[in-house]
């Protein structure tokens, strides 16, 4: 059976992606900082491993424990809803450590084996916020834009060795704990001068009718991993698909 390693499986998209691959008969290595099978389907094909993508020792141990894998999904990520002036720069660094360097470090860790076996797929979970400038998301968008740029260029290096690299860009999902986790970890101390502006923007976000479901992301990642003809960037969710169309990007 093919084997996939997914980061950030303690909640949200990670759990849905793990469930999708288990359902399709894959062996799944679901990784998370505090290992627990809660929220994941039970079964012999599921292995839960500890992994913090910002910790080199944790990465080395998880990749060694995982053994041979056919696919890696860099899904772990943190958000930040704030204007630049309200953001603590240490938190910004932390966010980039997870969203950008974490994905790079994981990719670097699995690449020697994939290069040698001349086979493998790496999918990075980015965001549709990278398609359009948005206020109060400048830092988060910058991290995901960096992930996009890294992924598209790295894909050329990996292709030399038969390894495919793809991006999935989800839209806004109300069903995950992403927003709450972002506020809990990164704070949301909006400077007073920006208060009404950010409040109006957040209200406009909440009133958007089109949104992304966790299943949309699981489906898009499934396609990115299993369909060799999938484009470099795949939208996930009705809102992301609408944005792709508005930007003239192929929707798959
Ligand atoms: N939800 C949205 O609206 C949305 C939209 C577009 C893109 N995305 C992207 O989709 C991905 C998943 O988000 P989600 O909505 O499922 O949010 P979520 O429920 O908050 O899940 C994020 C996951 O990342 C993990 N994580 C955070 N820092 C980590 C680290 N240093 N090492 C390993 N794992 C870490 C979290 O684990 P812990 O429990 O250990 O913190 C959690 O499992 C993220 O990359 C996010 O940027 C989300």
Q: How does the average pLDDT of the chain come out, rounded?
A: 96
Ligand 1 centroid to 116 CA: how many Å? 30
Fold of the 3-246 domain: Rossmann fold (3.40.50)
pTM of the model: 0.98
pLDDT of residue 116: 98
pLDDT value at residue 183: 85
Q: Which of residues 179 and 30 earns the better pLDDT score?
A: 30
Mean pLDDT computed over 165-178: 93
CA distance 150 to 107: 11
The pLDDT, as a whole number, for residue 103 is: 99
| pLDDT value of residue 86 | 95
Element of type H or E holding 243: helix 238-246
- pLDDT at residue 185 in the model: 80
Closest-CA residue to 143 (of 89, 186, 189, 79): 79
For ligand 1, atom 17, the nearest C-alpha belongs to 178
Structure tokens at 168: 């999935």
Written as six digits, the tokens of 237 are 């969710």
Q: What is the pLDDT of residue 118?
A: 98
Instruction: Give strand pairing partners of 32.
Output: 50
What is the position in ligand 1's atom list of the atom closest to the CA of 15?
Answer: 16
Q: Are the C-beta atoms of residues 16 and 5 closer than 8 Å to each other?
A: no
Of the residues 13, 21, 26, 140, only one is catalytic, namely 140
Q: Which of 23-37, 156-170, 185-199 has the lowest mean pLDDT?
A: 185-199
- Taking the C-alpha atoms of residue 36 and residue 40, their distance in angstroms, rounded to an integer, is 9
Q: What does the pLDDT average to over 39-44?
A: 94
Q: What is the pLDDT of residue 229?
A: 96
CA distance 164 to 159: 6
State the closest ligand 1 atom to the C-alpha of 97, by its place in the atom list counted from 1: 31
- pLDDT value at 208 more than 90: no
Summarize the confidence of residues 154-181 as an average pLDDT.
95
Helix (H, G, I), strand (E, B) or coil at 126: coil
Query: Is 209 a residue whose pLDDT tops 90?
Result: no
Residue range 212-231: mean pLDDT, rounded: 97
Question: Residues of the chain with pLDDT > 90: what percent?
Answer: 87
d(CA 124, CA 103): 7
Judge whether residue 151 has pLDDT over 80.
Answer: yes
Cα–Cα dist 247/171, whole Å = 14
Q: Is 194 a catalytic residue?
A: no
Instruction: Read off the pLDDT of residues 48-102 as tens digits, 9 standing for 90 and up.
Output: 999 999 999 999 999 999 999 999 999 999 999 999 999 999 999 999 999 999 9
Q: H/E element holding 124? A: strand 120-125
- The residue extents of the domains of the chain are 3-246
* For residues 229-234, average pLDDT: 97
Of 44 and 206, the one with more pLDDT: 44
Does residue 7 line the site of ligand 1, with CB under 6 A? yes
What local confidence, expressed as pLDDT, does residue 252 receive? 77
SS3 per-residue string spanning 46-82: EEEEECCCCCHHHHHHHHHHHCCCCEEEECCCCCCCC
pLDDT confidence of 176, banded at 50, 70, 90? Answer: confident
Mean pLDDT to the nearest integer, 155-170: 98
């Amino acid at each position: 059976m093919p084997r996939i390693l997914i980061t950030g499986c303690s909640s949200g998209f990670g759990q849905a992606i793990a469930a999708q691959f288990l359902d399709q008969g894959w062996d799944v290595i679901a990784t998370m900082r505090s290992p627990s099978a809660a929220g994941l389907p039970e079964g012999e094909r599921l292995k839960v491993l500890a992994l913090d993508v910002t910790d080199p020792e944790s990465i080395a141990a998880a990749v060694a424990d995982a053994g041979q894998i056919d696919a890696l999904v860099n899904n772990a990520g943190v958000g930040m809803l704030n204007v630049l002036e309200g953001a603590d720069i240490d938190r910004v660094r932390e966010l980039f450590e997870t969203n950008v360097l974490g994905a790079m470090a994981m990719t670097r860790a699995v690449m020697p084996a994939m290069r040698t076996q001349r086979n493998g797929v790496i999918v990075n979970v980015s965001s549709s916020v990278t398609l359009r400038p948005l206020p109060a998301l400048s830092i988060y968008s910058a991290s995901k834009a960096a992930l996009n740029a890294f992924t598209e260029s790295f894909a050329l290096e990996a292709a030399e060795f038969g390894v495919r690299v793809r991006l999935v860009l989800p839209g806004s999902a109300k069903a995950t704990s992403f927003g709450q986790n972002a506020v809990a970890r990164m704070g949301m101390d909006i400077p007073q001068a920006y208060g009404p502006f950010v409040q109006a923007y957040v209200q406009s976000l909440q009133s958007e009718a089109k949104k992304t479901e966790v299943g949309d992301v699981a489906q898009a990642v499934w396609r990115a991993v299993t369909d060799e003809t999938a484009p470099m960037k795949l939208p996930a969710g009705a809102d992301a698909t609408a944005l792709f169309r508005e930007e003239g990007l192929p929707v798959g």
